């Protein structure tokens, strides 16, 4: 039986690393880790995952070459908290859009976007000035994805922590603000990939009392 090959964009991030590990441990799935530097490859090679070297600031055609043989894409990349608004626009908005366009070019229909907790217009207006560019970037990247014919899911995690994951979350169209370990975000992404009923949906997710599978099934 052919395995589902999942391209993880931003694989060297903390969520991405957990996700690649979980995919490699799941029957019927395999990961292709998109990384920026060759020295990042060893972690993924130890897991038996394929790696592909891509600069997200490059053009769409170059990014699309990484999609060969891929069945699904997960965008977990981000400019990080220590960069300025310029990198936020280039990675969280422009690179996200280019990976969406690459999916369309290559006929890779399944696309999962890891967004920010709240990317509504109200969230932009209420965000502190230092955080607003990030929310704006995520708002328009999400909107671009919604306007495509891709089989998309948009995941809005709460405040990310490096705590050990519990495997229990709360997920719904809207939930109370809260925290969620990055490890559990990766579990949510995996469960979303496994569940076709999540196609065309977006949801917020924080730590909770339901198992990830139960929470995703109940969306």
Residues that are catalytic:
134
Distance between CA atoms of residues 143 and 58, nearest Å: 22
Q: Alpha carbon of 94 to those of 45, 142, 215: distances in Å?
A: 29, 12, 31
Q: Which residues contact 147 (CB under 8 A, 6 or more apart)?
A: none
Q: How far apart are CA 20 and CA 26, in angstroms?
A: 10
CA atoms within 13 A on the CB side of 16: 26
Among 72, 39, 74, 36, residue whose Cα is nearest residue 53: 36
Cβ-proximal residues to 151 (8 Å cutoff; 6+ apart), any chain:
109, 110, 111, 199, 200
């Amino acid at each position: 039986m052919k395995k589902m090959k999942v391209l993880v964009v931003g694989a060297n991030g903390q969520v991405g690393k957990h996700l690649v590990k979980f995919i490699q441990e799941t029957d019927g799935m395999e990961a292709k880790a998109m990384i920026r530097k060759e020295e990042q490859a060893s972690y993924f090679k130890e897991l038996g995952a394929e790696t592909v070297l891509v600069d997200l600031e490059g053009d769409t055609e170059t990014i699309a070459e990484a999609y060969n043989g891929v069945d699904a894409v997960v965008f977990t990349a981000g400019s990080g908290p220590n960069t300025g608004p310029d990198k936020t626009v280039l990675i969280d908005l422009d690179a996200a859009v280019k990976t969406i366009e690459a999916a369309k070019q290559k006929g890779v229909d399944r696309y999962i976007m890891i967004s920010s907790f709240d990317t509504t217009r109200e969230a932009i207006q209420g965000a502190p000035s230092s955080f607003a560019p990030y929310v704006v970037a995520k708002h328009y990247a999400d909107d671009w994805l919604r306007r495509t014919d891709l089989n998309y899911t948009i995941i809005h995690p709460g405040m990310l922590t490096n705590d050990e994951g519990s495997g229990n979350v709360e997920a719904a169209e809207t939930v109370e603000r809260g925290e969620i370990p990055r490890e559990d975000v990766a579990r949510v992404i995996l469960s979303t990939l496994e569940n076709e009923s999540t196609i065309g949906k977006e949801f917020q997710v924080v730590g909770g009392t339901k198992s990830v599978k139960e929470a995703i099934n109940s969306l």
